[in-house]
Amino acid sequence: MKFAIIGGTGVYDVASKTRVEQVTTPYGDVEVDIQNIEGKDIIFLARHGKQHSTPPHMINFKANMWALKELGVKFVYATAAVGSCNSNFKPGDIVVFNDFLDFTKVRPITFYDGNEGVIHTSMADPYCQNLRKLFITAAKEEGVKIAGEGIYVCTEGPRFETSAEIRMFQKMGGDVVGMTNVPEVVLAKELEMCYAAVGIITNWCTGLGEELDKEEILSAVERNKAALTNLFIKIFVTNNLSQEQCHCKGALMKL
């Protein structure tokens, strides 16, 4: 049983003794870092590539998630940089996603194109209840402040949203906006992995608050990145995780 941490914008801090592995998948090759911590293999995957060179709409989500499956991963924590359209969540805050609204347009969205019959995946609980609960508990224990849980809106990018779009997302109940969590969360569920994602707010959405410069965005990410990575590792290492406490396994319905 293996564990993975998917990092978004910004570079995660991995201590020494990391091994690099190239994973071949039907969708392309993926390079990951693997670290053995207290006897458990934890896989680090840079969503945008190690040089942060792949824009959101070009990310090979299917290769990324298939590579994790190939490596035997059952539990995934992901981080994502997001803008806020909820006045309670400010730049620098950490928000746990509890549902999503999908406004992507042209990305591959599924592993099931009909070769195995028609398969529908339950989205009743897109982000694993158990991993969310464990994260919130661990954050409290470690004194990492969580601003709350919120609904993630995924846009196609790479352009930012218009003011009108942001007003629409607010009316629909969206709290934070990003470009990468869909289809990642969906593909994880299709592969019956437990997956939870945590957002680091880097800016106000278009038309709200003042614009921040790039340096401020990166420093907000960096401040939280190490704390989150350490929390994820702690949860993986100290818990005897099982898929019996959630509905992630068995989310597929074959017709």
What residues make contact with Zn ion under the rule CB under 5 A?
128, 194, 246, 248
d(C-alpha 56, C-alpha 33), whole Å: 21
Tell me the closest approach of the beta carbon of residue 106 to Zn ion, in angstroms. Answer: 29
Whole-angstrom Cα distance, residue 22 to residue 71? 11
Residues 180 and 202: their CA atoms lie apart, in Å, by 14
Which has the closest alpha carbon to 177: 95, 232, 120, 238?
A: 95
Which of 30/76 has CB closer to Zn ion? 76
Max CA-CA distance within the chain?
50
Q: Which is nearer to Zn ion, 154 or 194 (CB)?
A: 194
Minimum CB distance to Zn ion smaller for 81 or for 128: 128
Q: Which is nearer to Zn ion, 128 or 217 (CB)?
A: 128
Is the preceding omega at residue 56 within 30 degrees of 0, hence cis? no
Bridge partners, residue 178, by sequence: 154
CA 196 – CA 188 distance, rounded (Å): 10
Give the residue with the Cβ less far from Zn ion, 181 or 202. Answer: 181
Query: Least distance in Å: CB of 246 to Zn ion?
Result: 3
Closest CB to Zn ion among residues 40, 249: 249
* Rounded least distance, CB 127 to Zn ion, Å: 9
CB neighbours of 180 closer than 8 A, spacing ≥ 6? 8, 47, 56, 59, 80, 154
Smallest gap from Cβ 243 to Zn ion, in A, equals 6
State the nearest-atom distance from the C-beta of 202 to Zn ion, in Å.
27
**Are the C-beta atoms of 134 and 203 separated by less than 8 Å?**
no
Residue 134 Cβ vs Zn ion, minimum distance, rounded to whole Å: 10
